[in-house]
Amino acid sequence: MIECLVGVCFLGFYFNKLQYHRFAISFIFITVSLAIFYFDSYSGILSGTYLYHFPLILAIAFIFDMREDKRLMLFHILLIIAFLSINVITHAELFRVLFNR
């Protein structure tokens, strides 16, 4: 699993090298959000991994320009809120239920 995440992050850096800066930043943010969501869902609410979503929101606020990237910022913040909501609704056991049949 970790190898896949590292590979995907390098793919984001490759997009950045190709001058697709906004796409690369969004790609890395989505990858990190999915990783935090997975580990939060798999390890449960008591592990506290949900706290990693909040620095991610701050990073979105610092990296994107509010005047130019409002929609992109809103997309990323709503994605994080959706992931947090799914974890709350499923009691942070989504992947345990799916993979332990």
Please provide the DSSP assignment of 13-45 as one string.
Answer: HHHHHTT-HHHHHHHHHHHHHHHHHHHHHHH-G
Contact status, residue 59 vs residue 32, Cβ threshold 8 Å: no
Predicted confidence pLDDT, tens digits, the chain (101 residues): 667 767 777 887 888 888 888 888 888 888 888 888 888 877 777 777 778 888 888 898 898 888 888 899 999 999 999 988 888 887 766 666 666 65
Q: Could you give the number of structural domains in the chain?
A: 1
96 vs 43: CA distance, rounded Å: 9
The boundaries of the domain holding residue 16 are 2-99
pTM (two decimals)? 0.78
Amino acid at 29: F
